[in-house]
Amino acid sequence: MTKLLLAASPATSQSAIITFGLYTVVVLALAWFSHRARSGRSFLGEYFLGSRGLGVLAFTMTFGATSASAGSFAGVPSLIYTHGWSVALWISSYMVVPLCAMGLLGKRLNQISRKTGAITLPDILRERFNSPRLAVLASLLLVFLLSVYLIPQFKLASLILKQLLAESHSLGMLTTWLTTLQDRTGLATTVDAEYLVCLVFFSFLVVIYTTFGGFRAVVWTDVLQGFIMIGAVVVLLVLTLHQADGLPAATAEVAKQVPPRLGQVHFFTEQPAPQAIRIPSETWIELKDDLTGQRRLFRTNEGAVIPADATISRRVKTVELIGPSQHSGQVPDRADSLPENVRPVIHEFEPYAFGAEQVSGYLRCPGPSPTNPAGFLSLGLAISIFVYWPLSGTGQPGNMVRLMAFRTSRTLKRSIALLTLYFGVIYFSLVIIFCSARVVLPGLDHTPDRIMPVLSFQISEAAQMPWLAGFLVAAPFAAAMSTVDSFMLMISSSMVRDIYQRNINPNVPEKRVKRMSYACMILIGLIVTAGAVNPPRFMQYLIVFTGGGLSVSFLVPVTMALYWPRTTGLGAAAAMIAGFVVYLGLYVAGYIIYGSARPLNILELDPLIWGFAVSFIAGVLGSRLSQPPPEQLVTRFFGKAS
Amino acid sequence: MDLPEHQTAAEAQADGSSSDAVWKHSLREAVEILVVWAVFMVWTVGYSYCYGYGSDAHIGLVFGIPAWAFWGIAVPWGTATLVSITFASWWIADDQLVDGSAADDQGVGTRD
């Protein structure tokens, strides 16, 4: 994960912190109200499913906010900034995601969950196939994949918080205290103390409101977070286009740009300085080429420090703008803002693997790519991704649980319409914003993960509304939070309801269920926090892998269970296991073949597509090769054949 | 407003057919949704492949959007939005999701 650095003045940062603090207070208040609203209702159904009473707004927003994880506000903007308009095609299947993710299973899943009294996905499978073993298999897969998925979400949210609180006095004090503690005890000395403080704060906040408020609190905060997300996107769109002189002007400027070269520089002084010299991130450097005499223009993407009594800094990631890009957008005419006596040393700079020197590359497919010689979006990938988003959205257990919680079929119908509009505004706007950001904020190509927060701070300052930055940065934080809380609730429900109550102690009193649910939630919070202190490498890879793994494990078995009377427990188990094994196998094969975190895409198709195909075949074969389900069971779920 | 051929669970019971109406409606709607999805995939990916790929330095703009993205993504996106709203509002059957045979909710509240 790229190290995040602030690009804001202290005044902006302080105002942003106050805005963000208000947001935190509102989230906690919602948890408290939710806790009060729960009194007098049956614990399990209310705590894990909100008594199936979600109306249009709550259902739409909780579905949308849970679907949009932190990746939507960190990963997607980064992709758009790096690859340009080709990402519009990459993300275009969101035009049908609400219809597919809600419409394909919604009504039937809701009906079956009511008919059986199921409050979790494994509950549904247990009742439908009368198979406790299948339910336990589903629970274990859910608990494993969701727990792994939570670790990168915790990390990303903590990094966002760290960026926001960088100028905070309280954070500074806590960090100093923690660093001292780390030095004295020798514990976690390699972990950044600032990050650790933010991680603990985030974990505390999310565990408290999820544990205390349950499903209803999660839904209410999702509604708040959903409004924050769309509000932030609309504000960013308006202000970015204003700064870029409108979309036609911005696109015309982007057309002139060619992909930059990426490399590193370090800085030195002739004499050691008594105090450390700081060279901020986003510093412009202008040099003349010794051989040709031509202008060379660089922009640092990380901050550098020449320590006191030293003469040299470490190397920092830097971008070299070349050709017409040097005169595009808001690139300064004279661009040397280095401190006096500080000189740069330029190391080797590499051109893009695809699209280098090509004008207009950012406006067309396959889009420039720093690493892939075939460009960003091949035709195979474009087809694959158009299949990926709708199926992946439909197969997410987090979404399926929400489909069990809406009030009536009319609620579902209205929510499909509303979510289609919501996603349309958010995702198409993101493409416009971050393509235009190439004009407003050029030269951030080496650390594009930072584009959302850096742009937020820049346009808030330009608009002279420093508080706005807190609101804008709250969007990715809210996205992470709304995903994390839902998943924590699902893990807890799987452990308490599906494993303990249904298999170990069916007569457990409600009071103990309550205590166990609370304890489980706190335990999950502690374990995931511990995992995020020193998370494994390849975070984005983990997010993609576990997100896809959840869909590929559950979409086919659940769909078959709902629609095909001949499906058997064996067929559903075969679909679940085969889909996941093929999916996992293609990731492992990719790692072995390429030696890096990259899946094997046979025929350029994502492993998810292969996983779905094999899962479907295994489900059909498994059902056909096993005894037909008892007539009584079929009649219960499908009625008598007329 | 539902189309006449849509039959609610109660109506199904009344006319003597005993297979689950929600199941039948949902299955038919799921197939129709897959057709909608396929149509928009062909339009979006097909148009974008024909006009969005290549190495031509000149790219036409429509309202500041590259022409291929306007006709291949923005227009289908708008159309898909209208189709989704129409489909959801007037085509998906308004079924009763709770019936008399509902099992004990095992702790689920009684709001419905």
For an interface test with B, the pick among A56, A91, A93, A99 (most B C-beta atoms closer than 10 Å) comes out as A99
Residue B94 CB neighbours (<10 A): 15
d(CA A356, CA A285): 21
Q: Are A66 and A402 in contact (CB under 8 A)?
A: yes
- Burial level of A642, CB count in 10 A (0-12/13-18/19+)? exposed
Of B64, B85, B108, the CB nearest to A417: B85
DSSP one-letter code for A528: H
What is the C-alpha R_g of chain A? 26
- All residues of chain A having their beta carbon less than 8 Å from the beta carbon of residue B65 are 85, 247, 251, 432
CB A565 within 8 A of CB A632: no
Asked whether the predicted pLDDT for residue A119 surpasses 60, the reply is yes
In this prediction, what percent of chain A has a pLDDT beyond 70?
91
For A365, the closest of B17, B36, B48 (CB atoms) is: B48
Contacts of B64 in chain A (CB under 8 A): 246-251
Q: What is the pLDDT of residue A43?
A: 65
Residues contacting residue A538 through CB under 8 Å, at least 6 positions apart: A597
**Residue B109 confidence (pLDDT):** 29
Fold of A47-244+376-533: Sodium/glucose cotransporter (1.20.1730)
The answer, yes or no, to whether residue A61 has pLDDT greater than 50, is yes
With an 8 Å Cβ cutoff, is A360 touching chain B?
yes
Listed residue (A489, A385, A479) closest to A97, CA to CA: A385
User: Is the confidence at residue A479, as pLDDT, over 80?
Assistant: no
Q: Which amino acid is at A448?
A: P
Report CA dihedral (B36, B40, B43, B46) to the nearest 10 degrees: -110
Averaged pLDDT for residues A150-158 = 83
Q: What is the pLDDT of residues A560-591, one digit of tens each?
A: 999 999 999 999 999 999 999 999 999 999 98
Q: How confident is the model at residue A181, as a pLDDT?
A: 76
Asked if B69's CB is within 8 angstroms of A409's CB, the reply is no
pLDDT digits (tens, 9 = 90+) for A351-363: 999 988 888 899 9
Write the residue in A89, A111, A416 that is nearest to B52 by C-beta: A89
A12 or A230, which is more confident?
A230
d(CA A367, CA A87): 8
Name the residue with higher pLDDT: A417 or A26: A417
Residue of A nearest to B35 (CA): A100
Pick the residue from chain B with its C-alpha nearest to A255.
Answer: B59
Per-residue b or e along A119-131, where b marks 16 or more CB atoms closer than 10 Å to that residue's CB: bbbbbbbbbbbeb
Q: Does B39 touch chain A (CB under 8 A)?
A: no
As a whole number of angstroms, the distance between CA A446 and CA A318 comes to 7
Mean pLDDT computed over A477-505? 82
What is the location of CATH 1.20.1730.10 in chain A? Answer: 47-244+376-533
For chain B, 112 residues long, give each residue's pLDDT as a single digit of tens. 333 334 444 444 444 456 789 999 999 999 999 999 999 999 999 999 999 998 776 889 999 999 999 999 999 999 999 999 999 999 999 988 876 444 433 333 222 2
More confident residue, A324 or A47: A324
Of all residues in chain B, the one with the smallest CA distance to A360 is B57
Q: What is the mean pLDDT of residues A523-527?
A: 90
ipTM: 0.85
- Give the residue, A72 or A42, on which the prediction is more confident: A72
pLDDT tens, residue by residue, A432-451: 999 999 999 999 999 887 88
Average pLDDT of the residues in A384-408: 90
SS3 category, A369: strand
The answer to whether the CB atoms of B93 and A409 lie below 8 A apart is: yes
- Give chain A's mean pLDDT: 85
Q: Do A53 and B74 touch (CB under 8 A)?
A: no
A residues 116..155 contacting B (CB < 8 A): 116-117, 119
Q: Is A54 on the interface with B (CB under 8 A)?
A: no
A595-602 contacts: CB < 8 A, separation 24 or more?
Answer: A597/A537, A597/A538, A597/A541, A599/A545, A601/A380, A601/A381, A601/A384
pLDDT value, residue A42: 65
Q: Among B64, B66, B96, select the one facing A246 at the smallest CB separation.
A: B64
Could you give the 3-state DSSP secondary structure of residue A261?
Answer: strand
Quick one: which of A2, A8, A15, A3 has its CA closest to A454? A8
Query: Nearest CB to A103: which of B92, B102, B106?
Result: B92
